[in-house]
Copies of this chain bind each other. A is one copy, B any other.
Amino acid sequence: METLMSTSWFVVPAHQHHALIKAAYLHRGYTAQESDDAARFCDMASTHGIRTHNGIKALHLDEHFGSKAGGCVPGAVIEALPSRFGGSAIWNANRKLGQSTAFAAMDEAIRLADHYGIGQVSVDNAFHYLWGGGYVMEAARRGYIAYTNCTAALAEVVPFGGRFPTLGTNPHSWGFPTTDALGYPIVIDWATSTVAMGRVQQLKREGKPLPPDAAVDAAGQPTTDPNQVAALVPFGAHKGFGLSLINELVAALIGGSLPTLRSRPIPDGEKRTCCFYFQVIHPDALSSGLFAQHRTQQQNLKAVLADVFGHGNENCTLPGQPEARAAAATAKAGGLLFSAAEIAEFNTIAQECGQPEWDLHSFATA
């Protein structure tokens, strides 16, 4: 069984997974639309091999920070706030489910980009949207250049040269419309810490050291011992630090409060919510039309990518390629791929919301 668990994947039909996730969100008081959005998002994550942000993680997050903890409000209604600027929308999400908010915000940013060439949506009082890469990937599949950042739920990262964690793991996600050129969208998507706190916990369980320059101890000194880790550090020294700071600055300009208060009990009059920022660019709004060899814009993109990944660079992994490979494996298997351990966790979810448990032996393996 151990061998089976570590090597086999069980093929779960997408509709069966969707139905369970939807039921779990409905059970927690979310509306049908929110629950559908949540399930759609988990489908996307699992289809693309994003095991850190699948349905198990989404519901776990909801339990610890969301509907059961007051961070997220089922049925909340997004308010569009007044904006005197055509290309910009500003929303108060009122702590609505992050996935519903992000899907809607990306749609709105696309609408603005169709009109103005570039559009942005700023979201105050937001709740965690899980995997920014999913939203930009979808916009890129629709032909747009898309970007999002957000402030992470907890301040776990020490500024470069500092001692105390005051920054989130603050991710950035960019998507590019390269499906014609490559068969899939390029998706550049990562947190600005060297590793995630979940990875530290995993290494602690496995008794393994961290990579260097990933974390500090309680005195602010570098450590590779997962038992000594008090906080994370940004990747790439001052450069990753700057990228992490960007999310705090954007959030501060939107309406976010002090990073060290986020998702924590707070003094009167302060805020503990995250902020989201979305931006979409229509590719026609960048194009000079003056491409060499009379190429079209897409042909030019393909030629540039062939140049970058030619000359002996053919074995590079492109950003977005692992997700595309996972999606191809999902399609080939005819369903979402989960381990036996994951299916056991889905069955705990099924128990919670009164749904039938999944029978491991009913699934094909891949």
Contact = CB atoms under 8 A, between A and B. Distances in A.
A170 B309 CA distance: 16
A290 to B, nearest CB: 5
Contact of A293 (B270, B279, B284): B270
Given A176-B249, A242-B319, A119 B118 contact: yes
A46 B269 CA distance: 45
A67 interface: no
A312 interface: yes
Nearest to A163: B312
Contact-residue bracket for chain A: 35 or more
Contacts of A277: 286
Contacts of A237: 235
Given A83-B117, A118-B118, A235 B246 contact: no
Find the residue from A119, A160, A279, A281 having the highest chain B CB count within 10 A. A281
A120 B117 contact: yes
Contact of A317 (B122, B124, B161, B301): B161
Interface stretch (A86-94, A199-207, A351-359): A86-94
Contacts of A317: 160-161, 238
- Identical copies in the complex: 2
Contacts of A303: 252, 257-258
A278 to B, nearest CB: 11
A305 B252 CA distance: 9
A125 B249 CA distance: 33
B117 A253 contact: no
Interface in A277-299: 277, 279, 281-293, 297
Contact of A186 (B90, B245, B289): B245
A147 to B, nearest CB: 10
B242 A190 contact: yes
Nearest to A88: B117
B161 A281 contact: no
A49 interface: no
Contact of A84 (B87, B92, B284, B304): B284
B253 A145 contact: yes
**Chain A interface helix/strand/loop/mixed:** mixed
* 3 nearest A-B residue pairs (beta carbon): A85-B117, A88-B117, A162-B313
A180 interface: no
B85 A115 contact: yes
A271 to B, nearest CB: 5
B243 A292 contact: no
Given A260-B311, A316-B162, A190 B239 contact: yes
A169 interface: no
B255 A291 contact: yes
Find the residue from A159, A186, A303, A309 having the highest chain B CB count within 10 A. A159
Interface in A90-124: 90-92, 115-120, 122, 124
A257 B84 contact: no
A259 interface: yes
Contacts of A250: 145, 286
B85 A86 contact: no
Nearest to A124: B288
Find the residue from A117, A237, A316 having the highest chain B CB count within 10 A. A117
